[in-house]
Amino acid sequence: MKQILKIACVLLLAVCLIPLKDVHAASFKDVSDDNTLITEIDYLVEKGIINGYPNDLFKPNAYVTRAQAAVMLTRALGLQTANVRDPKYQDVPTTHAYFKEIAAVHNAGIFDSAQKFNPEATLSRGDMAIVLQRAFKLKESERYYFSDVTEKTKGYKEIYTIASNNITRRYTDGSFKPSLPLTRAHFSAFLARALTLSNSDLLKDTKYDYIYSYYSLNDKNRYTLKYEYSHNNNKNDVWTITDLNSNELFDEEYLLSEGLHYAQGLASNESTHYDIYFSLPIRIGVIRHEDDGGVISGIRITVKTTDGTVRAGGVNYNNVIVLEEKSVYSDDVWTYYFVDGIGLVKELYNYEVIYELLDHTEN
């Protein structure tokens, strides 16, 4: 009977991980379009790191197993599975369906040596923090706080490290819940975020002047604007904006990047309004949620990709960070395209170009 159950488990795992038809998260019956983790799930599906079950199911709320995590990490990191060294787990013989992947993650130092690997056991949130920190060699940038994580908590350093890298965050009660088993959806999200983590500089380069084409939604006119760096006011980089056709001055642009946050907005008479504000480093998925404290107008900001492409001013840009902003109170969509070391190169409102970088020249 145990042998039959073991075979059944292996077959179920195989169904979960074998390549199926080309799908997207939105095409799964049990992953809705408004699922807050759909961007991350889509990313892993498109990369062939994880697949669905038959009948177009993803089973987002099913617990991920240690074997499944090993397979996904092996695929995500491109680990070598040929001639792997046997880690000698008693419950993972060389005949095991995923021996190579389990051996690969062990050999990479992601999972510890032990008598048993427990391939069908669940993976806790604390264990997830440990394996992701090891897999991606993440460094802690800012000490985070969780009400239920102390120095006595297994993996407490790794938990704080992935939190400081915006891969995870607190529950509403301030906890992390390190012992809570991970679902397929949540492990997919954490893995995708670690894979797409970016420390790109989103600020304009102060050594350059920028020329943008700008379409005003207020007066329906199009302008050619010149952005020139003015000064730093001990908080923001301040840029003066001039219409090249009329020499009219627009409100100044303020850009903030403290290493932990990015902000962009207009300022008039030293009164600053940030149109965009979010934490750094950046990764795919929802980064500002309408239920977050301090968020107004029901805004949700989602990073769609950190390695996209866009054409602006006749130039093709790669490794583009694409942000999408929506409000729960309207159907309006704002889309921003950022390039490392250059800053904003394009902005859309409901898919109409509002800002487009035409040129940037050394000043």
Stronger pLDDT, 302 or 23, i.e. the higher one: 302
Return the HEC string of 262-290: EEEEEEECCEEEEEEEEECCECCEEEECC
Model pLDDT, residue 23: 54
Dist CA 70 CA 98 (whole Å): 8
Interval 49-94: pLDDT, tens: 988 788 888 999 999 999 999 999 999 999 999 999 999 999 999 9
Interval 161-196: pLDDT, tens: 999 999 999 998 999 999 999 999 999 999 999 999
Closest CA to 286 of 255, 320, 328, 325: 325
Closest CA to 336 of 256, 253, 277, 293: 277
Model pLDDT, residue 56: 86
Give the type of residue at 254. Y
